[in-house]
Structure 1
Protein backbone atom coordinates (compact mmCIF):
# COMPACT_ATOMS: atom_id res chain seq x y z
CA UNK A 1 0.00 0.00 0.00
CA UNK A 2 1.23 3.49 -0.79
CA UNK A 3 0.30 7.12 -0.24
CA UNK A 4 -2.01 7.16 -3.28
CA UNK A 5 -4.16 4.35 -1.93
CA UNK A 6 -4.35 6.04 1.47
CA UNK A 7 -5.57 9.24 -0.15
CA UNK A 8 -8.41 7.28 -1.76
CA UNK A 9 -9.76 6.43 1.72
CA UNK A 10 -10.21 10.00 2.87
CA UNK A 11 -11.73 13.27 1.79
CA UNK A 12 -9.22 14.75 -0.66
CA UNK A 13 -9.73 18.31 0.54
CA UNK A 14 -7.04 19.70 2.80
CA UNK A 15 -7.67 22.70 5.03
CA UNK A 16 -5.16 25.42 4.24
CA UNK A 17 -4.32 28.95 5.37
CA UNK A 18 -1.73 31.56 4.51
CA UNK A 19 1.20 32.49 6.76
CA UNK A 20 -0.07 35.99 7.55
CA UNK A 21 -3.31 34.68 9.12
CA UNK A 22 -3.47 34.69 12.91
CA UNK A 23 -2.92 31.75 15.21
CA UNK A 24 -6.54 32.27 16.33
CA UNK A 25 -7.72 31.74 12.74
CA UNK A 26 -5.81 28.46 12.54
CA UNK A 27 -7.15 27.34 15.93
CA UNK A 28 -10.68 28.08 14.72
CA UNK A 29 -10.06 26.04 11.54
CA UNK A 30 -8.78 23.11 13.60
CA UNK A 31 -11.87 23.20 15.82
CA UNK A 32 -14.39 23.79 13.02
CA UNK A 33 -13.11 20.98 10.82
CA UNK A 34 -12.18 18.66 13.72
CA UNK A 35 -8.69 18.12 12.31
CA UNK A 36 -5.17 17.91 13.69
CA UNK A 37 -3.29 20.26 11.38
CA UNK A 38 -3.62 23.06 8.85
CA UNK A 39 -1.30 23.31 5.86
CA UNK A 40 0.19 26.74 5.27
CA UNK A 41 0.41 27.62 1.58
CA UNK A 42 1.41 30.44 -0.71
CA UNK A 43 0.35 30.98 -4.31
CA UNK A 44 -2.69 28.77 -3.71
CA UNK A 45 -1.02 25.36 -3.40
CA UNK A 46 2.71 25.67 -2.76
CA UNK A 47 3.39 24.32 0.73
CA UNK A 48 5.41 26.65 2.95
CA UNK A 49 4.57 25.20 6.36
CA UNK A 50 2.27 23.23 8.61
CA UNK A 51 0.65 23.99 11.97
CA UNK A 52 -0.61 21.23 14.23
CA UNK A 53 -2.86 21.42 17.24
CA UNK A 54 0.27 20.76 19.30
CA UNK A 55 1.90 23.85 17.79
CA UNK A 56 -1.11 25.94 18.83
CA UNK A 57 -0.98 24.58 22.39
CA UNK A 58 2.78 25.21 22.66
CA UNK A 59 2.40 28.77 21.36
CA UNK A 60 -0.36 29.62 23.83
CA UNK A 61 1.49 27.87 26.65
CA UNK A 62 4.61 29.90 25.92
CA UNK A 63 3.21 33.33 24.99
CA UNK A 64 -0.25 33.26 26.58
CA UNK A 65 -3.42 34.39 24.87
CA UNK A 66 -1.48 37.16 23.08
CA UNK A 67 -0.09 34.45 20.77
CA UNK A 68 -3.54 34.09 19.23
CA UNK A 69 -3.29 37.50 17.55
CA UNK A 70 0.18 36.88 16.12
CA UNK A 71 0.73 35.66 12.54
CA UNK A 72 0.93 31.92 12.02
CA UNK A 73 4.35 32.41 10.40
CA UNK A 74 5.67 32.90 13.96
CA UNK A 75 4.68 29.34 14.91
CA UNK A 76 4.49 27.16 11.81
CA UNK A 77 6.90 24.37 11.01
CA UNK A 78 8.69 25.33 7.80
CA UNK A 79 10.92 22.25 7.40
CA UNK A 80 8.02 20.10 6.21
CA UNK A 81 8.78 16.46 5.46
CA UNK A 82 6.65 15.38 2.50
CA UNK A 83 5.84 12.20 0.63
CA UNK A 84 5.06 11.47 -2.97
CA UNK A 85 2.19 9.32 -4.20
CA UNK A 86 4.37 6.23 -4.68
CA UNK A 87 5.84 6.20 -1.17
CA UNK A 88 4.95 3.06 0.79
CA UNK A 89 3.12 2.99 4.09
CA UNK A 90 6.33 1.68 5.66
CA UNK A 91 8.20 4.80 4.54
CA UNK A 92 5.39 7.06 5.76
CA UNK A 93 5.35 5.35 9.17
CA UNK A 94 9.15 5.47 9.42
CA UNK A 95 9.23 9.21 8.67
CA UNK A 96 6.41 9.93 11.13
CA UNK A 97 8.17 7.93 13.86
CA UNK A 98 11.59 9.44 13.15
CA UNK A 99 10.39 13.05 13.13
CA UNK A 100 7.58 12.54 15.66
CA UNK A 101 4.66 13.99 13.72
CA UNK A 102 1.21 12.66 12.89
CA UNK A 103 0.50 14.11 9.44
CA UNK A 104 2.41 13.61 6.19
CA UNK A 105 1.75 15.90 3.26
CA UNK A 106 1.65 14.27 -0.16
CA UNK A 107 3.14 16.52 -2.82
CA UNK A 108 3.50 16.01 -6.54
CA UNK A 109 5.50 18.35 -8.78
CA UNK A 110 5.76 20.81 -5.90
CA UNK A 111 1.98 20.96 -5.39
CA UNK A 112 -0.05 19.67 -2.46
CA UNK A 113 -2.27 16.73 -3.45
CA UNK A 114 -3.35 15.42 -0.06
CA UNK A 115 -2.48 14.44 3.47
CA UNK A 116 -2.09 11.09 5.23
CA UNK A 117 -2.39 10.82 9.00
CA UNK A 118 -0.97 8.25 11.38
CA UNK A 119 -4.60 7.26 12.02
CA UNK A 120 -5.05 6.45 8.32
CA UNK A 121 -1.98 4.21 8.41
CA UNK A 122 -3.00 2.43 11.61
CA UNK A 123 -6.53 1.88 10.26
CA UNK A 124 -5.10 0.31 7.08
CA UNK A 125 -2.69 -1.84 9.09
CA UNK A 126 -5.58 -3.17 11.22
CA UNK A 127 -7.73 -3.84 8.13
CA UNK A 128 -4.87 -5.78 6.54
CA UNK A 129 -4.23 -7.73 9.75
CA UNK A 130 -7.92 -8.66 9.99
CA UNK A 131 -7.98 -9.75 6.34
CA UNK A 132 -4.86 -11.89 6.87
CA UNK A 133 -6.35 -13.40 10.00
CA UNK A 134 -9.59 -14.21 8.17
CA UNK A 135 -7.70 -15.80 5.29
CA UNK A 136 -5.69 -17.90 7.71
CA UNK A 137 -8.86 -19.03 9.54
CA UNK A 138 -10.45 -19.98 6.20
CA UNK A 139 -7.36 -21.89 5.19
CA UNK A 140 -7.30 -23.83 8.49
CA UNK A 141 -11.02 -24.66 8.19
CA UNK A 142 -10.61 -25.95 4.65
CA UNK A 143 -7.59 -28.11 5.52
Structure 2
Protein backbone atom coordinates (compact mmCIF):
# COMPACT_ATOMS: atom_id res chain seq x y z
CA UNK A 1 0.00 0.00 0.00
CA UNK A 2 1.49 3.29 -1.20
CA UNK A 3 1.51 6.30 1.15
CA UNK A 4 -0.55 9.28 0.02
CA UNK A 5 2.66 11.37 -0.05
CA UNK A 6 3.64 9.45 -3.20
CA UNK A 7 0.46 10.64 -4.91
CA UNK A 8 1.21 14.23 -3.89
CA UNK A 9 4.68 14.01 -5.47
CA UNK A 10 3.09 13.13 -8.82
CA UNK A 11 0.87 16.21 -8.78
CA UNK A 12 1.24 19.93 -9.12
CA UNK A 13 2.53 21.33 -5.83
CA UNK A 14 0.14 24.32 -6.01
CA UNK A 15 -2.48 24.43 -3.26
CA UNK A 16 -5.77 25.56 -4.75
CA UNK A 17 -7.22 27.70 -2.02
CA UNK A 18 -9.63 30.50 -1.28
CA UNK A 19 -10.32 32.80 1.66
CA UNK A 20 -13.51 32.30 3.70
CA UNK A 21 -14.60 35.89 3.02
CA UNK A 22 -14.80 35.45 -0.76
CA UNK A 23 -18.24 35.19 -2.36
CA UNK A 24 -19.51 31.80 -3.41
CA UNK A 25 -19.87 33.15 -6.96
CA UNK A 26 -16.14 33.96 -7.08
CA UNK A 27 -15.38 30.52 -5.65
CA UNK A 28 -17.41 28.94 -8.46
CA UNK A 29 -15.52 30.99 -11.04
CA UNK A 30 -12.23 29.76 -9.57
CA UNK A 31 -13.43 26.13 -9.45
CA UNK A 32 -14.38 26.35 -13.13
CA UNK A 33 -11.13 28.07 -14.11
CA UNK A 34 -9.02 25.46 -12.32
CA UNK A 35 -11.28 22.59 -13.43
CA UNK A 36 -11.46 21.18 -9.89
CA UNK A 37 -14.35 20.17 -7.67
CA UNK A 38 -13.15 21.62 -4.37
CA UNK A 39 -10.90 24.24 -2.84
CA UNK A 40 -9.11 24.47 0.47
CA UNK A 41 -10.44 27.34 2.55
CA UNK A 42 -7.40 28.96 4.14
CA UNK A 43 -6.85 31.99 6.32
CA UNK A 44 -3.45 33.12 7.58
CA UNK A 45 -1.93 29.87 6.34
CA UNK A 46 -4.33 27.71 8.36
CA UNK A 47 -6.95 25.32 7.07
CA UNK A 48 -10.43 26.62 7.87
CA UNK A 49 -12.44 24.19 5.77
CA UNK A 50 -13.14 22.86 2.30
CA UNK A 51 -15.66 24.24 -0.17
CA UNK A 52 -16.92 22.09 -3.02
CA UNK A 53 -19.39 22.10 -5.86
CA UNK A 54 -21.54 19.87 -3.67
CA UNK A 55 -21.57 22.56 -0.93
CA UNK A 56 -22.79 25.08 -3.50
CA UNK A 57 -25.48 22.78 -4.83
CA UNK A 58 -26.88 21.84 -1.44
CA UNK A 59 -26.38 25.06 0.51
CA UNK A 60 -26.95 27.75 -2.10
CA UNK A 61 -28.72 26.56 -5.25
CA UNK A 62 -31.25 24.27 -3.57
CA UNK A 63 -31.97 26.81 -0.84
CA UNK A 64 -32.51 29.69 -3.26
CA UNK A 65 -29.63 31.74 -1.88
CA UNK A 66 -27.70 34.29 -3.92
CA UNK A 67 -24.15 33.13 -4.70
CA UNK A 68 -22.89 36.71 -5.00
CA UNK A 69 -24.16 37.61 -1.53
CA UNK A 70 -23.20 34.37 0.23
CA UNK A 71 -19.63 33.88 1.41
CA UNK A 72 -17.53 30.74 1.29
CA UNK A 73 -17.55 30.74 5.12
CA UNK A 74 -21.35 30.40 5.02
CA UNK A 75 -21.30 27.13 3.10
CA UNK A 76 -17.89 25.50 3.56
CA UNK A 77 -17.40 22.23 5.37
CA UNK A 78 -15.77 23.27 8.63
CA UNK A 79 -15.17 19.96 10.34
CA UNK A 80 -12.70 18.61 7.84
CA UNK A 81 -11.22 15.16 8.21
CA UNK A 82 -7.55 15.15 7.25
CA UNK A 83 -4.87 12.51 6.84
CA UNK A 84 -1.12 12.54 7.25
CA UNK A 85 1.31 11.99 4.38
CA UNK A 86 2.06 8.40 5.46
CA UNK A 87 -1.59 7.31 5.28
CA UNK A 88 -2.03 4.63 2.64
CA UNK A 89 -4.02 5.26 -0.50
CA UNK A 90 -6.40 2.39 0.21
CA UNK A 91 -7.00 3.68 3.75
CA UNK A 92 -7.82 7.09 2.26
CA UNK A 93 -10.22 5.52 -0.22
CA UNK A 94 -11.92 3.58 2.55
CA UNK A 95 -12.26 6.71 4.70
CA UNK A 96 -13.69 8.75 1.83
CA UNK A 97 -16.11 6.01 0.89
CA UNK A 98 -17.26 5.43 4.47
CA UNK A 99 -17.68 9.14 5.29
CA UNK A 100 -19.11 9.96 1.83
CA UNK A 101 -16.85 12.81 0.77
CA UNK A 102 -14.69 13.24 -2.32
CA UNK A 103 -11.83 15.49 -1.24
CA UNK A 104 -9.31 14.86 1.50
CA UNK A 105 -6.72 17.36 2.75
CA UNK A 106 -3.28 15.98 3.55
CA UNK A 107 -1.79 17.73 6.59
CA UNK A 108 1.56 17.25 8.29
CA UNK A 109 2.32 18.93 11.60
CA UNK A 110 -0.35 21.58 10.97
CA UNK A 111 0.86 22.34 7.43
CA UNK A 112 -1.44 21.58 4.51
CA UNK A 113 0.47 19.58 1.90
CA UNK A 114 -2.32 19.07 -0.62
CA UNK A 115 -5.85 18.03 -1.41
CA UNK A 116 -6.47 14.55 -2.78
CA UNK A 117 -9.64 13.64 -4.65
CA UNK A 118 -11.29 10.25 -4.89
CA UNK A 119 -10.40 10.37 -8.60
CA UNK A 120 -6.69 10.70 -7.74
CA UNK A 121 -6.91 7.64 -5.55
CA UNK A 122 -8.93 5.61 -8.05
CA UNK A 123 -6.49 6.47 -10.85
CA UNK A 124 -3.60 5.32 -8.65
CA UNK A 125 -5.31 2.06 -7.69
CA UNK A 126 -6.19 1.34 -11.32
CA UNK A 127 -2.59 2.00 -12.41
CA UNK A 128 -1.32 -0.24 -9.61
CA UNK A 129 -3.72 -3.03 -10.60
CA UNK A 130 -2.72 -2.72 -14.27
CA UNK A 131 0.94 -3.00 -13.29
CA UNK A 132 0.21 -6.11 -11.20
CA UNK A 133 -1.73 -7.70 -14.07
CA UNK A 134 1.11 -6.94 -16.47
CA UNK A 135 3.68 -8.47 -14.13
CA UNK A 136 1.55 -11.59 -13.62
CA UNK A 137 0.98 -11.93 -17.36
CA UNK A 138 4.73 -11.67 -18.01
CA UNK A 139 5.41 -14.24 -15.30
CA UNK A 140 2.87 -16.67 -16.71
CA UNK A 141 4.09 -16.21 -20.28
CA UNK A 142 7.77 -16.64 -19.42
Residue of structure 1 in register with 2:69 after alignment = 69
CA offsets 1:25-60 (integer angstroms, 9 cap, x no match):
1111101100010110111x2101100111111233
Structure 1 gap ranges (5+): none
Q: What TM-score comes out, normalization by structure 1 length?
A: 0.93
- Per the TM alignment, residue 68 of structure 1 is displaced from its structure 2 partner at its CA by 3.2
Q: Map 1:1-143 onto structure 2 (within 5 A).
A: 1-43=2-44, 45-64=45-64, 66-142=66-142
Distance in 1 of aligned mates of 2:33 and 2:61: 21
Distance in 1 of aligned mates of 2:137 and 2:95: 34
Answer whether contact 2:50 2:77 (CA < 8 A) is retained. yes
- Per the TM alignment, residue 116 of structure 1 is displaced from its structure 2 partner at its CA by 1.2
Structure 2 gap ranges (5+): none
Distance in 2 of aligned mates of 1:23 and 1:121: 27
Distance in 1 of aligned mates of 2:10 and 2:54: 25
Aligned residue pairs, count:
141
Answer whether contact 1:59 1:67 (CA < 8 A) is retained. no
Distance in 2 of aligned mates of 1:40 and 1:71: 11
- Per the TM alignment, residue 126 of structure 1 is displaced from its structure 2 partner at its CA by 0.9
Q: What TM-score comes out, normalization by structure 2 length?
A: 0.93
Q: Secondary structure at the match of 2:60?
A: helix
CA offsets 1:96-121 (integer angstroms, 9 cap, x no match):
01111111101111111111111111
Distance in 1 of aligned mates of 2:55 and 2:65: 14
Displaced runs of 4 or more, over 6 A? none
Q: What is the aligned-residue RMSD (CA, Å)? A: 1.2
